[in-house]
């Protein structure tokens, strides 16, 4: 606050495990600065994290960060635009979950702010507060090696050297269970005792025994969503529960099974799939309909009244409709869905979701440009571990048909819950161990966690 009050340039990084109160600190800073009549901007790397702050927007939405980045990219902001004037007059900028953003994005914002303000200092001389947890998943680099993923991290940026580091250590969310907090920190730091390299033992009271795939998944669903067949679930009950897994294919399998169990009549929406550059009609519509691609909704979208969904696009960030916002279906029409926002600052607001055309990014490496016109949503009974980062889920199930494959995934999955009693883990055993217990791999890149 000293730097904000006196307009002194500074860059801070708030570091701390999940539940230590980072979001509470951001909200306190935002309230204090705004109460003085000053402008404070709240941004985050994901829509979920942005919804946890009043007036929060995703960084891509706020700064117009380009999708395809290189080492000298600039944001798509005009110096005379209203957004540029807003940024220029701001006294504080908060960027949550900065640890999961590619360093090229943060460097692009740095260059853009210097250009907007005309001040050749980091972030144009603004008081910048970034935050995150490097134990969690790092920036996603498609088909990237370990070296490429680490290189994309903020820790490898020259800006990291210029930041003042502040560490939060008191684990407020899990303070009632100190053992669980310590276990999570050991998993995140990679210091939990391991067997055969990276395999760690999951506590017995948190595991669901694996018998067959069908029976074990049913037992996991019953543990997280009890009485789903018989009771009409209130909104709070649905949004406080989720099953996390590693891949989108498994997410779709669980969601399809869950919507069958959910009460009510199903409403089915089919997408309209076309290609922009297939002049010879090499790819029939049936083939395009069969494609299930990360970041796009499914061709066949099956919904029921009261079921939970998650938004896949930034439709109206200022009103809470960000990528990652969770909603509850309330009514269906041919070309619009009536839904209620279930989390964040806009919780309880009724909104209408339109059917819109969506295209793949250029790095999806398909030989054609697919355009899918569909509602930008998916069911959210289950979601990927990466998608859940930034959320608190009181009742969380973790389904690992294969081991985690990236830094911090197991830590993120385990730390979404509030207690070990309400966290259940189902693991397909991919190898045998001489010691009793349930083991799964824990991937930690130690070089990112070096002080």
88 lies in the same domain as 179: no
How many other CB atoms sit within 10 Å of the CB of residue 20? 21
Low-confidence ranges of the chain (pLDDT < 70): 170-176, 229-235, 361-365
Q: What is the CATH number for 191? A: 3.40.50
Looking at the structure, do residues 147 and 181 belong to the same domain, yes or no? no
Instruction: Say whether both 9 and 147 belong to one domain.
Output: yes
Domain with residue 24: its CATH number is 3.40.50.300
How far is Cα 10 from Cα 123, in angstroms, rounded to an integer?
9
Do residues 252 and 271 both lie within one domain?
no
Same domain assignment for residues 371 and 236: no
Per DSSP (E only), the strands in 146-282 are 164-167, 194-195, 199-202, 241-245, 267-270, 272-275
Is 228 in the same domain as 90?
no
29 three-class SS: helix
pLDDT of residue 364: 60
**162, 9 Cβ separation under 8 angstroms:** no
Contact 397, 242 (CB under 8 A): yes
28 with 118, same domain? yes
Q: Which domain holds residue 414?
A: 175-259+381-451
Helix/strand/coil for 320: coil
- Quick check: 372 and 290 in contact, CB under 8 A? no
Bridge pairing between strands 377-379 and 308-311: antiparallel
Angle between helices 103-117 and 82-89 (to 10 degrees): 90
Residue after which a domain boundary falls, among 379, 395, 419? 379
Same domain membership, residue 141 and residue 7: yes
pLDDT, tens digit, for every residue of 115-173?
999 999 999 999 999 998 899 888 888 878 889 999 999 988 999 988 988 888 755 45
Residues 12 and 144 in one domain: yes
Structure confidence at residue 108 (pLDDT): 94
The domain boundary residue, chosen from 333, 352, 379: 379
pTM: 0.86
Range list of β-strands (E), 248-307: 267-270, 272-275, 300-303
Q: Count up the domains in the chain and report the number.
A: 3
For residues 36 and 99, membership in a common domain is answered with yes
273 and 399 assigned to the same domain: no
**Which SS3 state, helix, strand or coil, does residue 171 take?**
coil
Residues 67, 90, single domain; the answer is: yes
Of 290, 262, 296, the closest CA to residue 378 belongs to: 296
Sign of the CA dihedral with 304 first, then 306, 311, and 316 last: positive
Which of residues 146, 167, 188 is at a domain's end? 167
């Amino acid at each position: 606050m000293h730097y904000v009050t006196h307009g002194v340039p500074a860059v801070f990084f708030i570091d701390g495990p999940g539940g230590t109160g980072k979001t509470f600190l951001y909200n306190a800073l935002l309230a204090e600065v705004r109460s003085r009549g000053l402008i404070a901007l709240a941004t985050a790397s994901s829509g979920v994290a942005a919804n946890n702050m009043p007036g929060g927007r995703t960084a891509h939405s706020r700064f117009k960060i380009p999708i395809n980045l290189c080492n000298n990219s600039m944001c798509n902001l005009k110096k005379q635009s209203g957004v540029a004037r807003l940024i220029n007059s701001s006294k504080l900028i908060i960027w949550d979950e900065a640890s999961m953003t590619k360093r090229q994005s943060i460097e692009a914002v740095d260059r853009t702010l210097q250009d907007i303000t005309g001040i050749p200092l980091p972030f144009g001389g603004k008081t910048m507060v970034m935050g995150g947890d490097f134990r969690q998943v790092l920036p996603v680099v498609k088909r990237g090696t370990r070296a490429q993923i680490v290189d994309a991290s903020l820790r490898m940026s020259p800006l990291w050297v210029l930041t003042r580091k502040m560490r939060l250590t008191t684990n407020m969310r899990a303070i009632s269970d100190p053992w669980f907090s310590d276990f999570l920190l050991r998993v995140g730091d990679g210091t939990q005792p391991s067997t055969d390299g990276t395999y760690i033992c999951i506590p017995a009271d948190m595991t669901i025994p694996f018998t067959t795939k069908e029976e074990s998944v049913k037992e996991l669903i019953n543990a997280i969503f009890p009485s789903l067949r018989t009771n009409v679930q209130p909104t709070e009950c649905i949004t406080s529960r989720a099953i996390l897994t590693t891949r989108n294919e498994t997410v779709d399998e669980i969601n399809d099974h869950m919507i069958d169990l959910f009460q009510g009549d199903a409403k089915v929406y089919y997408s309209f799939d076309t290609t922009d550059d297939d002049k010879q009609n090499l790819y029939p519509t049936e083939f395009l309909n069969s494609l299930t691609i990360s970041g796009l909704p499914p061709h066949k979208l099956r919904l029921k009244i009261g079921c939970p969904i998650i938004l896949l696009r930034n439709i109206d960030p200022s009103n809470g409709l960000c990528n990652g916002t969770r909603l509850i279906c309330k009514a269906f029409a041919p070309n619009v869905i009536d839904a209620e926002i279930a989390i964040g600052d806009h919780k309880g607001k009724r909104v209408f979701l339109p059917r819109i055309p969506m295209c793949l990014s250029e790095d999806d490496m398909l030989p054609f440009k697919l355009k899918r016109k569909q509602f930008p949503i998916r069911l959210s009974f289950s979601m990927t571990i990466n998608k859940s980062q930034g959320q608190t889920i009181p009742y969380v199930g973790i389904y690992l048909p294969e081991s985690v494959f990236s830094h911090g995934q197991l830590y993120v999955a385990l730390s979404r819950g509030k207690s070990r009693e309400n966290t259940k883990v189902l693991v397909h055993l991919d190898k045998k161990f001489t010691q009793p217990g349930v083991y799964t791999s824990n991937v930690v890149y130690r070089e990112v966690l070096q002080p």
